[in-house]
Structure 1
Amino acid sequence: MTAMDVGKLEHNGLFMAKIAFILLCHKDPDAIIQQARQLTAAGDCIAIHFDARAPKEAYALIQAALHDNPNVAFARCRIKCGWGEWSLVQATLYAVEAAVEAFPRATHFYMVSGDCMAIKSASYAHDFLDRHDKDYVESFDFYDSEWIKTGFKEERLIYRHWFNERTQKRRFYWSFWAQRKLGWTRPVPADVQVMIGSQWWCLRRRTIEALLDFTKNRRDVMRFFRTTWIPDETFFQTVVRHLIPSKEIETRTLTFLMFTDYGMPVTFYNDHFDLLLSQDALFARKISPEAKELKARLGILYASDRQEFKISNEGRSLFTFLTGRGRVGRRFAARFWESESTLGRERELLIIACKKWHVAKRLLGAIKSHTQTPAIAYLFNEEGTEMPDLGGIQGSLGKRTRHRRALMRMLFDYYDSDRLIICLDTANIDLMQDFFSDRSTTKLLEIQCGLSDDFLSGHARRVGLAGEETPAHALAQLLPTIRADVIFESDQIKDAEFPNHLRIRESATPAENAPALAEFLQVSDETARTLAETPYLFVD
């Protein structure tokens, strides 16, 4: 059967998907052998490139253990790989070529590492790929996206990089600065739009075959990428977009992975089993070598016929939330470009802080009905907050927060008022600190509400810590942490000892809450009592 025949059968859906895994690895031969046996036991196949820097004995061990497995192939050439080098792409291409030749029935080619493991069954994975005739590869515009957060960006492409930045640092940077000083830049191939994204892709056979033809016919593009920096984040992402219509590409990876604040991949352990299964992915990276129980459970799962998985997909936001607890190094100082700015000595900023946004919005609506003070709800928390056109500074949460004082001055000017009310989440202690450090007069009204399990569950879903399919037992385990976090936010506000800090409480009567409202808004006792009696103020 020719590759073309396979492609026709695949397109017509006459058999289930068959995956050829492309494995780049450099250590732990026993784990590689186990991984290969596990993946091929379900009927799939694997092509292996084992780094030439690794001991020959380790490679011989892998070959000896897998030589009689017809679903295992090895790259025809082993090369030494280095981070950020073209060698990683070349090693991948060698493994891909071996897989295409050895496995004519393979319909999909899935890039994995030795740290990856399946988090769904093989049956589920095959059915998923059968139902979605697409390529899965992160491919964002190199220039317009914010995929690169820090460091070189355009410099990755317009200069030639011959040396490894980690092992030949002096040569790497000497070469870079020499080219920059001499103005020795080069253009990107004119007909190619450079893309960037994760190197963990899953591509259909016809895409892989088109890509291999491209590598033979477009020597100019190959020469260009061979001397770019970190080409494993750009080569496949660019070429696939160049060859395949956008409607046939889903810009995401089917491998679940996360990174810490320091840019390091998050490692998963035995207690992450339920979290991994609930992610909208087929594999996860990276599994700890010590997580033997997790590996065993995932291995059994992959060989099973299980088809039902509750996908809540809250892994990344949950990790960010949990690892953020206990951090004390928050930034309270003004940014350097704001150090000389002020809202104005004569102005008064009134802040309503409440975790239950609907409660603060009800009170804000009542205040608007009984006073002439302009007010805006949660402008630093909700993207869709209704705001006047201020020339673009109001366009996104990021801009509003970065230029907070400039934004507030513009709002005072827009409303032609020296008083302004805004709402903040109780988590926004940094914003409160910033505004209270200003020369203007700032007041804070904290609304303390009861925290039922239903509210905390809804809050977890709203902020992405849980999904509609998150199991009840998993949510129950999370609620105490969320409750403690909300209480911690209130304690932070109390410990900050802000001047003009007032409180109203759900547990208090309207008569008890009215004096705080009167002082905060500078309104009569009668008006304050009316506001405190706002119908259904604290109802969820």
Structure 2
Amino acid sequence: MARIAFILLCHKDPQAIVRQAEMLTASGDFIAIHFDARAKSEHFEMIQTALKDNPSVAFARRRIRCGWGEWSLVQATLHAIETALESFPRATHFYMLSGDCAPIKSASFAHAFLDAADVDYIESFDFFESDWIRTGMKQDRLIYRHFFNERTQSRWFYAAYNLQRRLRLTRAIPDDIQVQIGSQWWCLRRRTVEWVMDFTRTRRDVMRFFRTTWIPDETFFQTLVRHMVPETEIRSRTLTFLMFTAYGMPVAFYNDHYDLLLGQDYLFARKISPEALDLKQRLGTLYNNAGASFQISNEGRSLFTFLTARGREGRRFARRFWETESTLGRERELLIVVCKRWHVAKRFVDHIRKVTGLPAVEYLFNEENTALPDLGGIQRSLGKRARHRRALVRMLFEYYRADRLVVCMDPGDLDILQDFCRDRATTKLLEIQCAFSDAYLIGHARRVGLAGEQSPPETLARLLPTIRGDMIHESDRIRDAQFENHMILRERDGRDQRIRLIQRFLDISPEMAQEIADTHHLFAD
């Protein structure tokens, strides 16, 4: 059975560290602690005194002063690993933790999870090819030497950096390693950790290189593990659940996040707020509950994105400067079918196409795989389509050699609707308002990743009013925009009302409108 030696880097809250160590070792696991030398010595003494009689606790023999982005974080980890290897010969896995981490599964679940596959869990993506780094330095982290801390010694950090750039004092990456990058929160097998420690003693050139890279805790272990372990024995993921805001700050979890955390496909989570005492207590009790069962839904990140984005309406890419005065053409007519239940709009538009012969395109700004002709590459991604929306639709008019075009759009695309309705072309909107059953909303939540197949009913019950309200809000925003040619076809409308709306929207004969209105099972799921 798996026995875990936790490698704990911490620097504050000694009482919380004691509770964390007692909880993790109560189930038969071990912990090696490195307490930052910058912290108060009396705090370290408090931790040592409280845990001195626990044989499953060990302390790094050497404490160093740690700084964010520095080599010191890697060095502190290596000191703690060295202690753990010597002190805990029965440990099969080594798991990196911080003082802000907490388990979100039981110890028995964690042990069974690690026993299920003989692999290492560590995020490791190609440093240069991946998009793991979104902003800031990339290759300059490696090819220049960094001796100062950017946060605490920013003046010296940038002075040294700019001087090297001016003088072109770059350096080569060691020839036989391919630098990788990923989260510092890993879980490695004992054999892998022993290989890493042997490597640090034999490859002094690589150690010298990483000592002066910037933020090496995101590259050192990630690179070495890929260098020594077969790819088939690596799972490029972390077992610690963490999220970041749009501003690059870690999301903190509080007392009311208990159910959400348990549903994620991870063993631990960070950051747990220091104020979330009830959450920490419940998670601590859970960790030593061998009978606990878990329903994995894994919707945490998508749910967070959905809920935070609701408060940021109006965001959009600015139009390219050459598109400021672009137009679809005064003589053209764009007919937009707006509907949240996409299959209803597709069914409706397909019947329009068959009855009238008008060219029609389904959800071109929402579905990557929408059938589109080759328009020189502008159609290849949703991002390009949205940025060059007028150019895209203008090219569709030209491709179909038509002056009238039907397209489907989601009611959430208000900025796109506003853009087209301001155009010199004639734009008509037919909004199809459908009834939303709880079953449909649950299916929608699962399709977009807000819920999983195993999401508990209590979570879904809390989520449904939010989703329903969001859909109503989207429709209200369209009405508030007061578009000139905005028509609403409701699911509850009678047949005669549907015929009149369709005739007015498409400007066709009553007979053709009647045939479209009689579309078989239009609103069926």
Q: Distance in 2 between matches of 1:331 and 1:461?
A: 26
| Superposition map of 1:507-522 within 5 A | 507-522=492-507
Q: Distance in 2 between matches of 1:76 and 1:464?
A: 46
Q: Per the alignment, in what secondary structure is the counterpart of residue 148 of structure 2?
A: coil
Q: Distance in 1 between matches of 2:280 and 2:72?
A: 30
Q: Per the alignment, in what secondary structure is the counterpart of residue 38 of structure 1?
A: helix
- Which residue, out of 189, 192, 198, partners 2:183? 198
| Superposition map of 1:82-481 within 5 A | 82-331=67-316, 334-336=319-321, 338-481=323-466
**Structure-2 change in CA distance of 1:519 and 1:323 (3 Å):** same
Question: What corresponds to 2:46 in structure 1?
Answer: 61
Q: Distance in 2 between matches of 1:246 and 1:438?
A: 53
Q: Distance in 1 between matches of 2:352 and 2:306?
A: 33
Aligned length: 525
1:333: Cα distance to partner?
5.2
Q: Please tell me the residue identity of whatever aligns with 2:270.
A: R
Q: Distance in 1 between matches of 2:321 and 2:227?
A: 43
1:447-488 CA distance string (max 9 Å, x none): 100111111111111111111111112101111111100000
Q: Per the alignment, in what secondary structure is the counterpart of residue 379 of structure 1?
A: coil
Question: What corresponds to 2:24 in structure 1?
Answer: 39
Question: What corresponds to 1:7 in structure 2?
Answer: none
Question: What corresponds to 1:5 in structure 2?
Answer: none
**Structure-2 change in CA distance of 1:144 and 1:337 (3 Å):** farther
- 1:26 aligned to 2:11? yes
1:406: Cα distance to partner?
3.4
Check whether the contact 1:332–1:434 (CA below 8 A) recurs between aligned residues: no
Check whether the contact 2:314–2:415 (CA below 8 A) recurs between aligned residues: no
1:337: Cα distance to partner?
5.8
TM-score by length of 1: 0.94
Q: Distance in 2 between matches of 1:403 and 1:107?
A: 54
Q: Per the alignment, in what secondary structure is the counterpart of residue 323 of structure 1?
A: helix
Q: Please tell me the residue identity of whatever aligns with 1:59.
A: F
Check whether the contact 1:334–1:434 (CA below 8 A) recurs between aligned residues: no
TM-score by length of 2: 0.96
Q: Per the alignment, in what secondary structure is the counterpart of residue 228 of structure 1?
A: coil
1:60-93 CA distance string (max 9 Å, x none): 1111111221111111211111111111111111
1:121-177 CA distance string (max 9 Å, x none): 101100110011111111112222221111212222222211111111111122222
Q: Per the alignment, in what secondary structure is the counterpart of residue 222 of structure 1?
A: helix
Q: Distance in 2 between matches of 1:98 and 1:417?
A: 75
Q: Distance in 1 between matches of 2:170 and 2:398?
A: 47
Q: Please tell me the residue identity of whatever aligns with 1:281.
A: Y
1:413-452 CA distance string (max 9 Å, x none): 3323333222111111122223233343322211100111
Check whether the contact 1:279–1:313 (CA below 8 A) recurs between aligned residues: yes
1:241: Cα distance to partner?
1.2
Check whether the contact 1:136–1:203 (CA below 8 A) recurs between aligned residues: yes
Q: Distance in 1 between matches of 2:222 and 2:391?
A: 39
Q: Percentage identity across aligned positions?
A: 68
Check whether the contact 2:60–2:80 (CA below 8 A) recurs between aligned residues: yes
- Which residue, out of 54, 62, 67, partners 1:77? 62
CA RMSD of aligned residues (A): 1.7
Check whether the contact 2:286–2:292 (CA below 8 A) recurs between aligned residues: no
Q: Please tell me the residue identity of whatever aligns with 1:125.
A: A
More displaced stretch, 33-42 vs 164-173:
164-173
Q: Per the alignment, in what secondary structure is the counterpart of residue 34 of structure 2?
A: strand
**Structure-2 change in CA distance of 1:242 and 1:42 (3 Å):** same
Q: Per the alignment, in what secondary structure is the counterpart of residue 344 of structure 2?
A: helix
Q: Distance in 2 between matches of 1:280 and 1:164?
A: 35
Unaligned 5+ runs, structure 1? 1-15
